[in-house]
A and B are shown apart, each in its own frame.
Chain A
């Protein structure tokens, strides 16, 4: 009978941590690949409008951005509406056609995403659009956020 009670002591089950670094490395590599470090500083304010009929742009490498909005000044003040491409503010809008044409030769499936501040006026947006037509970059995207309040 006594034999029944003096059971052999089992070794404590331990979770093997040997593969932990591998798991972490996997996660690490995933995030390293998906990370896009912010390349340029946006010098204009762009509070995007809200919309419902949204589509996603999956292919990020096709996208080129144009920012439009009031220029950020010192002390949280905002200046006049300016246009920014890459990291420079464009003063002469007629430069846009050449910039965009050059980008189009590099990436034939270019999509120009217009990140326009919701308080901007249509005049400047149309001027930029006319330049885009002259540059031949016809695929555009009005960048907008999902409207949460309606749903």
Chain B
């Protein structure tokens, strides 16, 4: 009996925590390897809604439309003149910011329209390059406007804009790009 009573008190059981860091590290490395933090980048567009075929589209003056045609070989026709892709940007800028001065270009930025038309055989790459140039022209116009308002560029202006608020620059210079249905290419 004396032996039992004199039993040493048991030591409290402890979970070893020294390996906790290692376990956490292993998990961390697993997620590090599997993570892909790639944000999808691209050129955003809004398609026109499905049209009622009985309703005639509103008439648009010929001078307000800048027509860009891209054929199956990737050659560009700018207002019926054969052009290089890198000429598009300057032409779009001239067209949009014309303010009615030159009779070949648009009457006002709000009426200005850029139309891109391709063949069914046009490579997608050429189409994206054309669209990219048109968008870059608008970006440059917006940059100039943002600088007039005291921002370093359009991006800085956008960041400063409250979410949901109207964008005064795009109000004056809306990007109106029309994607025409392609010809069959025959």
Contact = CB atoms under 8 A, between A and B. Distances in A.
Query: A and B bound?
Result: yes
Given A24-B25, A125-B124, A56 B50 contact: no
A54 B48 CA distance: 21
B129 interface: yes
B182 interface: yes
Interface of A: 17, 20-21, 24-25, 27-28, 31-32, 34-38, 49, 51-58, 60, 63, 111, 113-114, 116-123, 125-126, 129-130, 132-134, 136, 138-146
B34 A35 contact: yes
Contacts of B31: 28, 31-32, 35
Interface in B106-160: 118-125, 127-129, 131-132, 135-136, 138-139
A126 to B, nearest CB: 5
A24 B21 contact: yes
A46 to B, nearest CB: 10
Interface residues on B, range: 35 or more
A55 B43 contact: yes
A117 B123 CA distance: 10
The secondary-structure label for the interface of chain A is: mixed
B120 A24 contact: no
B74 to A, nearest CB: 11
Given A34-B37, A142-B131, A116 B45 contact: no
Point out which of A27, A28, A34 has the most chain B C-beta atoms below 10 A from its C-beta: A28
A139 B136 CA distance: 20
Q: Which 4 A-B pairs have the closest CB atoms?
A: A123-B120, A53-B135, A31-B31, A24-B24
Contacts of A142: 42-43, 45, 128, 131
Contact of A136 (B34, B41, B46, B50): B50
A129 B46 CA distance: 11
A140 B45 contact: yes
B21 A17 contact: yes
Interface in B28-46: 28, 31-32, 34-37, 39-46
A25 B121 CA distance: 53
A129 B180 CA distance: 11
A132 B119 contact: no
A35 to B, nearest CB: 5
B17 interface: yes
Contacts of A117: 124
Contacts of B60: none
Nearest to A69: B124
Contacts of B36: 35-36, 38
Contact of B47 (A17, A54, A58, A138): A138
A133 B182 contact: no
B45 A21 contact: no
Nearest to A126: B182
Nearest to A127: B120
Given A24-B21, A122-B119, A31 B41 contact: no
Nearest to B185: A123
Contacts of B12: none
B50 A116 contact: no
B27 A133 contact: no
